[in-house]
Chains A and B, each alone.
Chain A
Amino acid sequence: MTGKGKSRWADSAEDAALEAQLKKEKEEKKRLKAEKARKAEAEKKKREAEAAAAQRQHQQQQTGDDDHVNGPPAKRRRLSPDRDAAPPQAAPTTASSNDSSKLLRFEGGRFGKCRSVENYDKLNDIEEGAYGWVARAREIETGKVVALKRLKIDPKDRSGLPVTGLREIQILKDCSHRNIVQLKEVVVSDDTSKIENIFIVLEFLEHDLKSILEDMPEPFLASEVKTLLLQLCSGIAYLHSHYILHRDLKTSNLLLNNRGQLKIADFGMARYVPDPPPPKLTQLVVTLWYRAPELLLGAARYGPEIDMWSVGCIFGELLTREPLLQGKNEVDELTKIFELCGLPTDESWPGFRRLPNARSLRLPSSSTKPAPQTTTTTLIRAKFPLLTTAGVSLLSSLLSLNPSKRPTASDMLEHEYFRQDPKPKQEAMFPTFPSKAGQEKRRRRETPNAPQRGQKADGSMGQVDFSSLVGGIFGAGREREERGGGFSLRMV
């Protein structure tokens, strides 16, 4: 593009020809217009619109021809004829205003004060958790049912409104995707002299995946698991492509409506993370059972891979209805992970020994280890005998100890697993469930909560000895690995 300077913008012979043609056209149009002027007012308007449309089409055609002659244009072509060339008396007609090029107009909305929470009628409480209070409510004006989530504010906190809550609002306002819960507005209580009661108004969904899994007598069908995973994954792909890490993916944060639509909720831990990630992020993220091994080992630099680990855990949970890795504490969680996925080695995860907490691990010397990749796969196969080979390969790649081996969300959408039979079930064909959120106060969950700000990010885990694990896991794994991808009568 360099070096052309003036010539790039200067009129070429083709341009001149085009101009002449357009001029001719304009005259033709003027003649037509003179005819039209005699007709009735109402008809005139309609015809002008038609003429304008026709002309636009014509112009498009022409630019198409033009492209053909010149090869691909360097930039967007101007579609408008040169105004100077048009005779001045033509200017005031409506048709000539249609001639001017079409500019994109951006609608950014407006800004203004919060509305009052009194615009909503509370129906029932949904949940009261560590993060605050959620209720079902109805907007008085429209009758629409929404979820009201109260932002938890610690009045003793001298740093003002919690940054997590503000981030949640900011991120949800920026997001627009069918698999991400929609933020409608933020409202405050009537007394605005002090802003203490802040409520986030979210779209209401009947269920969360956690309670469905707890209550269903039979696990989801393979086709249903695929639908849920696909939706989860396309939501996450959207987030990651917008540089957002969720950092607290778990089944209780995935909502489901009665039309089989899954939406990711609770962005209290989420934040924008540039690529490459900044050097220091808090490790106190993600509920323990869904927390990736690099976080447990104290990595301060992490990226979207931690969400993909959680997706792996959710995948496992969808298959068995039980959380996959229910550690009692960080050490126990890491033990459970190594039991399921095998121990990390320098080949399978180069550099893991440099992570802050890895120093306290005592791993067996490298000579006794089996080949790592087959190990994870075989261990996973043993744990999920009914899963197909493609399913096992997806799950074991999601649960790779080495973050760089995990697929990205957009990779995952293309995975073989979703193309194989049984095909993902259509959302509309999804079974429905009685809604707890809609009717009754929900009991408190036994899932541990996501770590809270201010909690100690204690690096030291004490001395942890994993050498004893080796015999046990691998023994067990070997024993069962023959069974392979199984067979199930209920695979629809």
Chain B
Amino acid sequence: MSHMINPLATPEQLYQRRSFSALPTELQDAIFFSTQCLTQAAGLLLQLPQSVTAQANVLLARYWLIEPMVSHEFSDISAASVYLTAKLSPYPRSPRDLALVYNYLLSPSSTFFQPSVSASDDSPPPPPPPPTNIPNDYYLPEHVYNSFQTRLLHCESRILYALSFDTHVSLPHPLAITYLQALDFLNTSKSTISKRTLAYLNTALLSPQMLYLTSQPNALAVAAIYNAAKDVGAKMPECEWWEVFDVDREELGFLVVGMRSVEGWGRKMREDVERMKAESESGKRGGMITRRDIEGELRRRGLSVGNGYGGNTGVGSEEVVDMEADMARRMDEKMAEIEGSAS
């Protein structure tokens, strides 16, 4: 049975997240969304199957319900979650693979989260001009690699600790296919409806509503099928067919709306991130949002930036360590910059 169920977030954990840090909710959502997108992008470049990357997404989401978002750099936590899931899967990737991929994704040469030209209207944006490819941008000097690896391993053990070493993730994707078979693919094209269903499931990974932490895989699968069927205009059974798959109407309704809203929400958050990047001093760097961007944004909003910006986190001693880590990180970055400009 364990391959069909996931540990879920408790209401306290979901509530706690909102009060965890001084970060406004929409900033948390923006961070969540862009980090999950980064994780997906890294999974693609590392040629990992989606089953592995999706598990990394889920572990990352669980981790952020336990520990404050700002305690580590977002991209580091993303890398560690990919590293950890790949390590346990049949497709392990070396720390160097991860360093190269993340170094590239965070560089201005990658297309990741680069501002698109027309972010307005719902006309499909023209393909953004390919960013000028400057190999120097993502050259990986040995010391940068070493410090990345140190942070990677630290984050890895941090994630495991926060999750009690429970890395079990059941994905709804295989269930969705089984359910579609049981429904005879609703008498439509098998590939069309299957692809649409999986697209909904993959998009749901990015939702700041954390659908994968609040619903079991069977419910996610049914909601994705429902949405896909609506989209392709397939005729669903007229009875309450979701009950056959042990999903009640209320949960289905919630998930259907949740899954449908990710797209618009994501677009808005992407604009937010791009705006923040443009306003912050590190705007010239890559498209991924960093802790420094968040810091700058908070300052612009006139919110105090406390130590580790966790005004009322109350994690005590851990914060001190984080400040040290933070300092070390900044020194690393400074060094990298100096050496980068020297070379």
Contacts and interface: CB of A to CB of B under 8 A. Distances in A.
Given A108-B216, A160-B157, A188-B161, A9 B62 contact: no
B166 A1 contact: no
B153 interface: yes
Contacts of A112: 13, 66, 162-164
A163 B158 contact: no
B161 A170 contact: no
Given A112-B164, A170-B168, A193-B318, A10 B238 contact: yes
Contacts of B218: 106
B246 A111 contact: no
Contacts of B182: 75
A166 B87 contact: yes
A169 interface: yes
Contacts of A192: 161, 318
Nearest to B242: A103
Interface string A111-147: 1111000000000000000000000000000000000
A170 B187 CA distance: 40
A60 B149 CA distance: 61
Given A160-B153, A192-B161, A107 B168 contact: no
Contact of B238 (A9, A76, A278): A9
A241 to B, nearest CB: 12
A195 interface: yes
A113 B6 contact: no
Interface string B131-174: 00000000000000000010011101110111111111000000
Given A104-B246, A111-B62, A193-B321, A166 B167 contact: yes
A113 B66 contact: yes
Contacts of A173: 165-166, 168
A109 interface: yes
Contacts of B235: 5-6
A166 B88 contact: yes
Given A110-B8, A161-B156, A103 B247 contact: yes
A36 interface: no
A108 B6 CA distance: 5
B152 A160 contact: yes
Interface in A168-203: 169-170, 173-174, 176, 185-186, 188, 192-195, 198
B121 interface: no
A158 interface: yes
Interface in A366-403: none
A160 B238 contact: no
A167 interface: yes
Given A103-B246, A159-B94, A166-B87, A113 B184 contact: no
B92 interface: yes
A78 interface: yes
A93 interface: no
B338 interface: no
A385 to B, nearest CB: 46
B317 A9 contact: no
B284 to A, nearest CB: 32
Could you tell me the dominant secondary structure of chain A's interface residues?
loop
Interface string B1-12: 110111111100
B153 A163 contact: no
Interface in A456-479: none
Contact of B88 (A105, A106, A170, A198): A170
B244 interface: yes
A352 B216 CA distance: 47
Contacts of A158: 95, 149, 153
A103 B219 CA distance: 12
Contact of A106 (B94, B164, B216, B244): B216
B83 interface: yes
Contacts of B8: 108, 110
A1 B164 contact: no
A106 B66 contact: no
A110 B248 contact: no
A80 interface: yes
Nearest to A105: B246
A195 B161 contact: yes
A195 B163 CA distance: 13
29 contacts: A2-B184, A9-B239, A10-B238, A75-B182, A103-B247, A105-B246, A106-B5, A106-B216, A106-B218, A106-B246, A108-B6, A108-B7, A108-B8, A111-B62, A111-B65, A111-B66, A112-B164, A114-B161, A114-B164, A159-B153, A160-B95, A166-B160, A169-B165, A170-B167, A170-B168, A173-B166, A173-B168, A174-B2, A188-B161
Interface of B: 1-2, 4-10, 13, 62, 65-66, 83, 87-88, 90, 92, 94-95, 149, 152-154, 156-158, 160-168, 182, 184, 187, 216, 218, 235, 237-241, 243-244, 246-248, 317-318, 321
Given A106-B246, A114-B165, 12 more contacts: A103-B246, A106-B1, A108-B6, A109-B7, A111-B7, A111-B62, A111-B166, A112-B162, A114-B161, A160-B87, A170-B167, A185-B164
